Amino acid sequence: MTNPVSVDALFALARDRQEKGADAAAVSLYRQLLCHLPSAFAVWVNLGFLHQRQGRGRAAEQAFRRALTVDPGQTAVMGCLAQLCQARGDGAAAVDWLTDALEADPQSAEMTNNLGNALVAAGRPDAALAAFRRTVVLAPDRSEPLSNLAALLIDLDRPRDALQPAARALRLTPGDARAANNLGAALVEEDRLEEAIAAFHQALHHDPAFADAGTNLSAALMDRGDCQDAEVLCRRLVALRPDHADAYNNLGNALRSLGRLAEADKTFRRALRLSPQDADVHYNASSVFLKSGNFADGWDEFEWRKRTLRSAFRNFPLPGPEWDGQALSGRTLLLYAEQGLGDVLQFIRFVPLAVERAQGPVVLQVYPSLQRLLGQVPGVSVVVSTDDPLPAFDCHLPLMSLPAVLGCAPTAVAVPYLTADTGLVEGWRRRLAPLPGRKVGLCWAGAPRPEQRGAHRMDQRRSLPLAALAGLLGVPGLSWVSLQKGDPAAQLRAVPGAGAIFDAMDDVGDFADTAALASVLDLVVSVDTSVAHLGAALGRPVWLLDRCDGCWRWLAGRDDSPWYPTMRIYHQTAWGDWDPVLRRLAADLALFAAQTA
């Protein structure tokens, strides 16, 4: 075996077996060579590749390490070791190997790019950004590091920064489906929906089985209101990839938006079986369960909102444990606001039950505009604003977790559960006394929240321009009173006939003032925003205009609500089409005006 000709022949034979996939024979031949040439670098490397292909990670690592003892400067072998470490979940070791490789060859674009990927996996995004940017400098004509940079920036919620590298990657490789998908994802987050849809179509044109591009496209189609097209696409995706939980998740979302809740329920349950720890799937499923009236499952799944970044949950770090509903024996409980103003007004009803259960001081933290109104909640020791420092407490819970912890239904609390200040009420009664007929409050728009893409899209679906309601203003026997705050209130000066609406909202400083004004009205007509919750919590008649893909809290198939017995719901039946809703509303308003106040 010491004959060079024999060694070369045996090595060539081993390589031949390796290339033909005869792994066992190749391993045997390489081991024969190593018995006589234990320092043969190429043999150790090839043996390492064979073990790696066979899924024998530890054996592959030992072979590559032996190769490095022969030639310590081989950066490619260090890269192989990094890959093995990453495969077994040891991100820190992968980073160390790639760092060593770059010390040996600082100009290696491949190793710098791999280091970026390893740093992402290790949870070090800032260092990964630096690595990808360095790779782009080292290899300006390669699209992969640009795509990696764009994808990371999107994950870090920096879509504007991602646009340039994503577009540049696509220019370098126009047929790169991943680059097109990254560009689409960045455009979506920048609310450039039509351009995003075109980019996702481009990605799928180049790779029809690219599931991530498909799910992104289906979500963008739903944002545009094309829920039926999104359903068709998602069904094609799940046929191609029956194990793809994201495709089932989006299919569930499409079916929910189309009002097919039984199908959505089954679809989300399938997604949960495929990905039982996916917080987004759990949270989306909760909306179907709750809208179907399945509160037992719904509240459990709703708790997953705390673990999804797409949730509007105010996830700030708090000391101490979450309250589990047990008696606290004098220790202090913090209950705090989350999500929107309407959510607080809806779930504040459960606070007296929590006070009774906790058997200790309760601190309530709410948004500044609610602080004065909610200072009346029975049993609460102190009500503080989210702008104020928190007093000491022992445990805490967000308000919207109270039904899950207390195990109670919406009907567990009598309505009304809020009351307005009597002095403020009398003041508004005097001001509105000259208005003839029945007095109807009107709120036509929610908060647009352009900084939150999902919330902004939802507001575009729930809000109406005042001009769309102009036909209601002429219903005889009614006096209209504005309950609208924010930028949409300016429409009062632009819509013909809107001058007849009584508007004193400049004198309304917070929800205590709004509550007093609403208390002297005969009816509140509102889109799905905080004013509707406030009026109904006060026990006033509220007629709610609900978008086609209505919120989970308004139950399917019902025009009433277990949350608010004085509420009537007018459901939109086609996406974006308010005309039938407004015709029914006008007819009912005429009947309402004819009734004796």
Q: What is the CATH number of the domain that holds 522?
A: 3.40.50.2000
For residue 189, tell me if it sits in a domain: no
**405 and 506 part of one domain:** no
What lies within 8 Å, CB to CB, of 360 at 6+ separation is: 327, 328, 329, 330, 331, 332, 333, 394
* Consecutive H or E run containing 363: strand 362-366
Of the residues 380, 412, 444, which one is the last residue of a structural domain?
Answer: 412
Per-residue pLDDT tens for 82-110?
777 778 777 788 888 788 888 888 999 98
Say yes or no to pLDDT of 43 above 80.
no
**383 and 450 part of one domain:** no
Q: 3-class SS at 176? A: coil
For residue 188, tell me if it sits in a domain: no
Of the residues 412, 436, 458, which one is the last residue of a structural domain?
Answer: 412
**351 and 384 part of one domain:** yes
**508 and 389 part of one domain:** no
What mean pLDDT do residues 517-544 have? 98
For the ranges 380-389, 443-452, 460-469, the lowest mean pLDDT is seen at 443-452
Name the DSSP class of 498: G
Owning domain of residue 375: 333-412
Q: pTM (2 decimals)?
A: 0.85
CB of 218 within 8 A of CB of 244? no
For residue 293, tell me if it sits in a domain: no
What band does 312 get if pLDDT is binned at 50, 70 and 90?
A: very low
For residue 520, tell me if it sits in a domain: yes
**377 and 480 part of one domain:** no
CB of 325 within 8 A of CB of 332? no
**583 and 543 part of one domain:** yes
Of the residues 385, 412, 439, which one is the last residue of a structural domain?
Answer: 412
Distance between CA atoms of residues 164 and 153, nearest Å: 11
For residue 208, tell me if it sits in a domain: no
Long-range (24+ apart) CB contacts under 8 A made by 454-463 are 454/310, 455/312, 456/191, 457/223, 461/225, 461/547, 461/548, 461/549, 461/575, 461/576, 462/527, 462/528, 462/529, 462/546, 462/547, 463/488, 463/527, 463/529
For residue 381, tell me if it sits in a domain: yes
**482 and 400 part of one domain:** no
**367 and 515 part of one domain:** no
Number of domains in the chain: 2
Per-residue pLDDT tens for 331-355?
999 999 998 999 999 999 999 999 9
For residue 66, tell me if it sits in a domain: no
Q: What is the CATH number of the domain that holds 407?
A: 3.40.50
**497 and 558 part of one domain:** yes
Per-residue pLDDT tens for 469-486?
999 998 999 999 999 999
For the ranges 42-51, 361-370, 390-399, the lowest mean pLDDT is seen at 42-51
Say yes or no to pLDDT of 27 above 80.
no
Distance between CA atoms of residues 554 and 292, nearest Å: 9
Q: What residue spans of 348-412 are helical by DSSP H? A: 351-358, 368-371, 402-406
Single out the residue of 154, 122, 120 nearest to residue 135, CA to CA.
120
**460 and 511 part of one domain:** yes
What lies within 8 Å, CB to CB, of 493 at 6+ separation is: none
| Tally of CA atoms within 13 A in the half-sphere of 181 that contains its CB | 24
pLDDT of residue 4: 55
**346 and 484 part of one domain:** no
pLDDT of residue 429: 97
Per-residue pLDDT tens for 130-149?
999 999 999 999 999 999 99
What lies within 8 Å, CB to CB, of 164 at 6+ separation is: none
Say yes or no to pLDDT of 114 above 60.
yes
| Residue whose token pair is 């709410």 | 366
For residue 264, tell me if it sits in a domain: no
**468 and 510 part of one domain:** yes
